[in-house]
Amino acid sequence: MTRTAVLTQITPGVFAWQPRQASAWGLANCGLITSRGQALLVDTPYTPALTDSFLDAARAAAGPRVPLDRVALTHANGDHTWGLQQLPGAEVLATRAALDHQCLEPTPQQLHALVHDTDPGQPLGWYFREHFGRFDFSGITVVSPTDTFTGRRDLEVGGIPVELHEVGPAHTVGDLIVHLPAQRVVFAGDIVFADDHPSHWAGPLERVSAACERILALGPQWIVPGHGPLMTPEELREYIAYLDDLADQAYLLHGQGRSAVEAAQILLKEDRYPRLGLPERLAITLSTEYRHLDGDSATVDLVELVERAARIAWDRASLAGPAF
């Protein structure tokens, strides 16, 4: 799996680490900014093994004497943060609200159990094995940010100006984007997904869309999504149109008394978004949107949301026939 990940130079000193596998949970993009003997990493991969692959590539690009001792976290999902233990002593920057999401996220130990101890003959156990069985979650220690902020934080990496903008709650409660104004690059984290349906945990969709509009207002030439290939501003506008349409459909179907899962099934039957992978994740994002439409402020059970997606994927795979 690590052989399919490539560190691509976007502009001099700015790189994106991209696992090249479509329609896969957990294979997140990361970033490297390096100049004049300094470096800043943007996120880390899911597991120690993946992180070691990323760090080897980053050291080769930055130079063996450049310390990899600063990390900016776009949000607190494990697939963007659980590699931090491979960087002991690093300064880890994140929004203060990212700490709140860490309390909601299943631990590596819980995720290991969901992969190995659930029933593979049932949708949830099957789905976790299908999408998370490739990862080794054993021995992972969750590392918290060392420096948190609200609003905005400016810093420099060897003379390269870097702006950290808080844009959550949106994908999670604690999102930020990393803007490099001179290079016209934005690392968007999971505010933006390319080629697949997103799985938004905090919402509502109007805040995700607004965060994307903030990215466009910065005038980037390239946007690095949390997952998938690099995007142009025009492609980000298409993504915003998708988010806005999905919000409209959620409002309409909610008003008709349809449940979030029923709404997802209706949109899938219509084949409304045919080019996007992982269509079952509509159940997650629509469930999040429905919480806002209902004014529901209860603590979110993330595993329950994944189970809703798993049941849709299970049914779709069953209908596909022998391949299942």
Instruction: Answer whether the bond into residue 161 is a cis peptide, omega within 30°.
Output: no
Q: How confident is the model at residue 227 (pLDDT cuts 50, 70, 90)?
A: very high
CA 127 and chain centroid, separation = 18
- Note the pLDDT of residue 249: 98
The overall average pLDDT reported for the chain is 95
Q: Quick: pLDDT tens for 202-211.
A: 999 999 999 9
Q: Which two tokens stand for residue 58?
A: 């980053």
Q: Is the pLDDT confidence value at 160 over 90? A: yes
Q: How confident is the model at residue 321 (pLDDT cuts 50, 70, 90)?
A: low
- Note the pLDDT of residue 100: 85
Q: How confident is the model at residue 2 (pLDDT cuts 50, 70, 90)?
A: very low
- Which residues 6+ apart lie within 8 Å of 126 measured at CB? 120, 310, 314
Q: Give the residue-averaged pLDDT of 68-76.
A: 98
Structural domain boundaries enclosing 153: 2-320
pLDDT-above-70 percentage for the chain? 98
Q: Is the pLDDT confidence value at 194 over 50? A: yes
Q: Quick: pLDDT tens for 136-145.
A: 999 999 999 9
Q: Quick: pLDDT tens for 88-110.
A: 999 999 999 999 887 788 999 99
Name the residue with tokens 């976790």.
128
Q: Quick: pLDDT tens for 4-26.
A: 789 999 999 999 999 988 889 99
**254-259 contact pairs (CB < 8 A, 24+):** 254/289, 254/290, 254/293, 259/290
- The CATH number that applies at residue 58 is 3.60.15.10
- Contact present, 208 and 168 (Cβ < 8 Å): no
Q: Give the residue-averaged pLDDT of 177-184.
A: 98
Could you give the number of structural domains in the chain? 1
Q: Which two tokens stand for residue 181?
A: 């104004």
Q: Give the residue-averaged pLDDT of 141-162.
A: 97
Secondary structure in 3-state letters for the chain: CHHHEEEEEEECCEEEEEECCCCCCCCCCEEEEEECCEEEEECCCCCHHHHHHHHHHHHHHHCCCCCCCEEECCCCCHHHHHHHHHCCCCEEEEECCHHHHHHHCCCHHHHHHHHHCCCCCCHHHHHHHHHHCCCCCCCCCCCCCCEEECCEEEEEECCEEEEEEECCCCCCCCCEEEEECCCCEEEEEEEEECCECCCCCCCCHHHHHHHHHHHHHCCCCEEEEEECCCECHHHHHHHHHHHHHHHHHHHHHHHCCCCHHHHHHHHHHHCCCCCCECHHHHHHHHHHHHHHHHCCCCCCCHHHHHHHHHHHHHHHHHHHCCCC
Q: Which of 153, 20, 50, 53 is nearest to 98 (CA)?
A: 153
Range name among 3-12, 189-198, 288-297, 303-312 with the lowest pLDDT average:
3-12
Q: Give the residue-averaged pLDDT of 67-74.
A: 98
Q: Is the pLDDT confidence value at 3 over 80? A: no
Q: Give the residue-averaged pLDDT of 46-64.
A: 97
- Note the pLDDT of residue 26: 96
